[in-house]
Amino acid sequence: MPTPPPLPYGSWPTPVTSALVVRAAARLGEVLVDGDDVWWSESRPAEGGRSALLRRSADGTVTDVLPPPWDARTRVHEYGGGAWTVAGGVLWFASSGDQRLYRLAPGEVAPVALTPEPEIPSGVRYADLTPTGDGGLLAVRETHTASGAAADVVDEVVRIGPDGRETVLVSGPDFVSDPRPGPDGQLAWLQWDHPDMPWDAARLVVRAADGGETRVAGGPGESVVQPTWDADGSLLLFCDRTDVWALWRWRPGGDLEPVLDTGVDLARPQWRFGASRAVPLPGGRVALAVPRDGADRLAVLSPGGDLRELDLPSTSLTQLRAQGGAVVCAAGGPVSEPVVLRVDADAGDVEVLRPARDLGLDPAWLSRPVEVTFPTEDRGTGVAEAHAAVYPPTNPEVRGPDGELPPLLVMVHGGPTSAHDRTLDLEVQYFTSRGFCVAHVDHRGSTGHGRRYREALRGRWGVVDLDDVVACARHLAGTGRVDPARAAIRGGSAGGFTTLAALVLRPGTFTAGASHFGVADLAALAADTHKFESRYLDGLVAPWPEGADVYAERSPITHVHALDTPLAVFQGAEDRVVPPKQAEALVAALREKGVPHAYLLFEGEQHGFRRAENIRAALDGELSFYAQVWGFALPEAEGIEPVDVVR
């Protein structure tokens, strides 16, 4: 093979355009099994970001069940999830527009409203829908009042009968989730109260048919996620009693029993409803996703405790469901977008039910992540190292100039109690195929590494996360992988906060940055946000308003006078979480100081961009910004319109 010609980093021609990124953004959502049928949802940016529902029948026919403009999406806890369910061919779903529940039975032409129109628009919302087997369903109901105040929002577990009548089953806790009907009239659910988040202290409660209640697990210092009834009447659950979310079992009248602890988190935090990382199978077996070396393995656990891993090419597994003796799941990997698989739990045979689309990309264009652990400052956390997935620049047709190192782009996930998903992300490949080295940092506070690692961020958001992104950049530069003079940081929402804070409070490491609807004012976020996160910052920063001085000290908006790094800002005009005035305060400071900057405000967008044209404009605009700041040319064939950089 001839040696590829050299071209300046950043200017490499690539088929991974913003148009392809948007096309690939039509991601899988939830997956459910209904008899011989398999259903799934997928987001479609080309259709305004709506969530479509599809059904694959036993004969392989795939039907688009909900035509436009129907959008099966709930706003409970603002992050949603569990917006639809199906049983016996009957579909129930929450409609994005009015948040009412609708039902669509076989043979019906159009969905029929099941719940009444609320007194205030979108004032009553439903999520975590679970069929009860008698034509009704359980749901988490979130009721808002005309005041609009987060403190007035009420979360309850309700039963909705076939006639739409609602019966309140659980009321009182600040939050509830995972209502699961069990045998003999039992009901299991999770609950937690302010100021905790579900990954802090969610409690599993079981109510017997006679009304007696048992707290199975969870509470201060311990969290439960994803309870699931097994056929023998026991409950499977993930609990972090041993530091990591391990698999446990509870039998009515008995104690909590450990089932599987691999030393890493088997589950993920409950930002959204409807997750499933383990599912019981016939014969007392359990199928589950087991992380190892940054990748998931599908494994089957026998009643005797033997764990057998199945040979799958996928490295990211979600939405595990049982279909007889098979497992249906969403599966992806660093070089494969998510697909729907059916895997025989005995033979290991794999059937692709929803294949990956042909994106027209040879795998040679795709950068594979390298797991990197690097030292960082302890600051009394007891944790002195952090983690990142590092994607080297990859392009089969060109190489970098001799004697030069690639620019670095540090990406910061949201949350901040989240983690980088190693499934194929063409937004990452958009940059690596052009010559960037991308480092996705799982700073302390990220999930997947146990409670101790997660809680290292408690009271230290805006401190240890900054330590970690800076330490990552310096580690990669120190090992000769990247050019320290061309190091950028970018993130959205909470990741945008870390981006902005790193630029103003840890100057000197990054020479450019990009904030996508990033939090600039912590006090504003604490004072005016939705109920789910209204006390979140109590644990991450300090109790509000008692800790107002800490909020001011760590807020980028307080230190705009120190902002002298070129910055691109991308903002939604209708963003309630991060109002445009925060972005505009940053831009005004940059303009006054003459620091190169770009600002794109997108009309009609909220907290996160859903429209295809805006996703493209933000991505191409960010690349154009780096090109102008660092002085490389954009590939002419793409016709990217340069963003307006004000100096």
Domain boundaries, the chain: 114-354, 363-631
pLDDT in tens, 72-114: 999 999 889 999 999 999 999 999 999 999 999 999 989 999 9
Spatial distance between the Cα atoms of 194 and 222, rounded to a whole number of angstroms: 15
State the CATH class of domain 114-354. mainly beta
Query: What is the mean pLDDT of the segment spanning 35-52?
Result: 89
Return d(Cα 214, Cα 244) in angstroms, integer: 23
User: 241 vs 357, 370, 452, CA distance in Å?
Assistant: 41, 30, 11
Up-side HSE of residue 606: CA atoms within 13 Å toward CB?
Answer: 6
Query: Residue 185: helix, strand or coil by DSSP?
Result: helix
Pick from 104-113, 211-220, 265-274, 631-640: least confident: 631-640
What distance lies between CA 209 and its chain's CA centroid? Answer: 36
Q: 535 with 597: CB under 8 angstroms?
A: no
pLDDT > 70 in the chain, percent: 100
pTM of the model: 0.92
* Contact in structure between 423 and 451 (CB atoms under 8 Å): no
Q: Tens digit of pLDDT for each residue in 414-451? A: 989 999 988 899 999 999 999 999 999 999 999 999 99
pLDDT given for residue 577 in this prediction: 76
Neighbours of 375 (CB within 10 A): 11
DSSP letters for 451-509: HHHHGGGTTTTTTHHHHHHHHHHHHHHHTTSS-TTSEEEEEETHHHHHHHHHHHHSTTS
Residue 106 burial by Cβ neighbours in a 10 Å radius (0-12, 13-18, 19+): exposed
What integer pLDDT is reported at residue 357 of this predicted model?
Answer: 81
Q: Give the pLDDT band of residue 382 (cuts 50, 70, 90).
A: very high
Element (H, E) at 22: helix 18-24
121-135 per-residue burial string, b: 16 or more CB within 10 A, e: under 16:
ebbbbbbbbbbbeee
Contact yes or no for 592/608 (Cβ under 8 A): no
Structure letter (DSSP) for residue 382: S
Domain 363-631 has CATH 3.40.50.20: no
Please compute, for residue 214, the number of CA atoms within 13 A of its CA located in the half-sphere on the CB side: 17
pLDDT tens string 286-331 = 999 999 887 899 999 999 999 999 988 778 899 999 999 999 999 9
In 3D space, the residue among 282, 285, 216, 202 whose CA is nearest the CA of residue 252 turns out to be 216
